[in-house]
Amino acid sequence: MLKYTVKRLLYSVLILFFVMFIIYILMYNMPSGYVETKARELASRPGATKSYAEWLEDLNAQYGMDKGVVGGYFVWLGNAVRGNWGDSWAWTIPVTQEFHNTVWYSFALGFASFIFEILIAIPLGITAARKQYSFTDYFTTVVAMVCISMPTFFVATVLKYVLSVKLGWFDLSGMQGRDYMTLTQFGKILDVAKHFVMPLITLVIISIGGLMRYTRTNMLEVLNADYIRTARAKGVPEKTVINKHAFRNTFIPLVTMLGGTLPGLFSGALITETLFSIRGIGYASYTSMTQADIPFIMFYLAFISILTLLGNLISDLLYAAVDPRVRLS
Amino acid sequence: MQEMNNNPVRQSDYLLEVENLVKWFPIKSSFFKRTVGNVKAVDGVSFKIRRGETMGLVGESGCGKSTCGRTILRLQEKTGGEVRLNGQDIFALNKEQLRKLRPRMQIVFQDPYSSLSPRLPIGEIIGEAVREHGIVPQGEFDDYITRVMEVCGLPPYYKDRYPHEFSGGQRQRICIARALALSPDFIVCDEPVSALDVSIQAQIINLLKKLQADFGLTYLFISHDLSVVEHISDTVGVMYLGSMVEYAETGKIFANPLNPYTQALFSAIPIPDPDAHIHRIILQGSIPSPANPPSGCKFHTRCSHCMEVCKHAAPKWLEVEEGHWCACHLYDDAQAKAEAEEAMARAKRSQAQAG
């Protein structure tokens, strides 16, 4: 197991190297780079002393864009492995500082939606499977399909219209109310929590459909297995059949899938955060991308890549942990 | 396992009585879920099994053998007919009563790979229901499981292992131990050796025979392997397309098969002698769909002895010789013949009207 883990980690490093290289090439060749925008802006200022071309050359040197793609990548890589991720061009603070400022909002949002997703989708999936072809089954299936099909912006817009515009329960967007500064410490926490409700509902709605269908499919497969018939033939109470024999086996694919999504809790929800102006990591990365902020994007995407690789590894390790049949080698 | 012999309620010669058992699976239309037809998997099957004996149930794949076995144990609900175990109508029980009766009747499935839950260790697979039904006092539980495993040829240290660590033969022993641990009277063996190597088959068959001798078990042995059935059964029933076509003691039916279908089936038994010349009866065509079985005798589409009457009238289930039952127009007595003629005439009339 240890040998396997080490091997996988070494592979991951290799994969990461190439992934980041590809991302760097893409960022470097963006049609309207940060440096060009900046140079144009400076050159067109009243009283500008240098032309656009001169500014461009200057800034390229300043920002390290004059070393070419490969050279630039290795400079970035050299700094990154030493823990120096540089300063964000768009936010003008160290990249890690901006990350630290934003990631915890994303984590809170992701974690809460993850919990709700599990609490709602798994019991629904199991019920639907147990009552296959019943009204309950068809109803949950239709709901799941609707949830899967609706795009995030649509859900968010409908929620905003109903809960905010019509009912006036929540603010349209943002993380704080107008009177935030006048509130007590506890009141401030409540205020922020209240602003997280609509993004949370959005995230839960778009994610439960998939998990519910996944649970249902797996549960159905297990319920039709011979060993469930064996358990019933043994005269074990139906509750034990479902909870012990069936769910334990449904659990295997579920755990591996959910284990794989764990690192995703930190990666933020780019669209939802942007729609509700939640200053999480997703929103920050979106803003950075629109401004071609290479250091921050490189950092954020490296972070996501590491999380994804880690998620796959966790899911494989969990598989071995929960399924006695699997031996990793 | 002493309590195995202090049987029950009403002593009669027959432990299991199946009367006119019917199991149809409805075919639903895709949208409105209306029943548009039925797959007649078991269509009126009757037989009895004496205490301590084995009845073999044979037939082609898809003829309803397994469905019959499962419906007898009420692992699925019947469509019609009656099943009595020890005189007790199984379908008259409510859920809880049925659960309480489960230890008396057990099943060993065909596929030992899928019939054991991969997440439970062997000891738990065997012992779970023993605990559930309170077969032995708590203190003796471990000893009891050990004993059952030893009887089935499984070393007790296997208890903590998981099913995937065993070979097919061992798994089937586990399945048998699992069934045996509940000290049943009656076990349905649903093709218990079809998934195993021939050498392992012999071991399992011998184990089943030994257990029968030791504990007075009654088996319904479902199989398509006729040599195995001949070896283990006291009586044999032959099924075709959901109906029983012939039933007799093993010796009788193998020596003198009456029904043309049985004759064809038995002629297919391989003889391990390269010089032996056997006259194989090759059946034409494949087994018709049980959703739309042929009229009259269901076998008439493939039968070499097919007569006009076979196409229109279903044959009666008659005792042709002492203890040798058969459903075929070739063996109709005078009364049955008259009835068949009449049925044929009626069928033809209605056909003419419809035409």
pLDDT band at B3 (very low <50, low <70, confident <90, very high): very low
Q: In what order do the strands lie in the sheet with B35-50?
A: B35-50, B14-28, B80-85, B88-89
pLDDT band at A329 (very low <50, low <70, confident <90, very high): low
Question: How far is A227 from chain B, CA to nearest CA, in Å?
Answer: 4
Question: A65 is written with which tokens?
Answer: 């864009």
DSSP per-residue codes, A9-27: HHHHHHHHHHHHHHHHHHH
Main-chain phi, psi angles of B276, to 5 degrees: -65, 135
> What ipTM does the predicted assembly reach?
0.76
Domain residues of chain A, as ranges? 2-81, 95-322
Give the three-state DSSP class for B280: coil
pLDDT band at B355 (very low <50, low <70, confident <90, very high): low
Question: How far is A309 from chain B, CA to nearest CA, in Å?
Answer: 28
Residue B347 amino acid letter: A
Q: For the segment A151-162, what is each residue's pLDDT rounded down to a tens digit? A: 888 988 998 899
Residue B200 amino acid letter: I
Q: For the segment B125-149, what is each residue's pLDDT rounded down to a tens digit? A: 998 888 888 888 888 888 999 999 9
Residue A139: how many other CB atoms lie within 10 Å: 12
Task: Please tell me which of the candidates A229, A323, A325 has its beta carbon nearest to residue B75.
Answer: A229
State whether the Cα torsion B220-B222-B227-B228 is positive or negative. negative
A95-322: what CATH class?
A: mainly alpha
Q: For the segment A61-118, what is each residue's pLDDT rounded down to a tens digit? A: 777 777 778 888 888 888 888 878 878 777 788 888 888 888 888 888 888 989 999 8
pLDDT at B9: 45
Question: A1 is written with which tokens?
Answer: 């197991």
Question: How far is B14 from chain A, CA to nearest CA, in Å?
Answer: 22
Answer whether A234 sits within 8 Å of B129, measured CB to CB: yes
Q: Could you say which residues from 219 to 238 on chain A have a Cβ atom under 8 Å away from some Cβ of chain B?
A: 225-227, 229-237
Going by their DSSP bridges, the two strands B186-190 and B235-240 should be labelled as unpaired
Answer whether B114 sits within 8 Å of A233, measured CB to CB: no
**Window from A35-39, B35-39, B79-83, B173-177 with minimum mean pLDDT:** A35-39
pTM here is 0.75
Which residues in chain A have Cβ-Cβ distances shorter than 8 Å to B33? Answer: 133
Q: For the segment A271-310, what is each residue's pLDDT rounded down to a tens digit? A: 888 888 888 888 888 888 888 788 888 888 888 888 888 8
Q: For the segment B181-209, what is each residue's pLDDT rounded down to a tens digit? A: 998 999 999 988 888 888 888 888 999 99
**Cα B76 from chain centroid?**
14
Give the three-state DSSP class for B234: coil
Q: Which residues contact B252 (CB under 8 A, 6 or more apart)?
A: B321, B323, B324
Answer whether A324 sits within 8 Å of B162, measured CB to CB: yes
Q: For the segment B232-264, what is each residue's pLDDT rounded down to a tens digit? A: 999 999 999 888 999 999 999 998 899 999 988
pLDDT band at B4 (very low <50, low <70, confident <90, very high): very low
**Of B6, B19, B182, nearest to B87 (Cα)?**
B19
Q: Which residues contact B185 (CB under 8 A, 6 or more apart)?
A: B4, B7, B8, B15, B51, B85, B86, B104, B105, B217, B218
In chain B, which residue's Cα lies nearest the Cα of A322? B119
How much is the CA Rg of chain A, to the nearest whole Å? 25
Answer whether B119 sits within 8 Å of A324, measured CB to CB: yes
Answer whether B178 sits within 8 Å of A234, measured CB to CB: yes
- The rounded distance, in Å, linking the Cα atoms of B42 and B298 is 13
- The rounded distance, in Å, linking the Cα atoms of A318 and A259 is 7
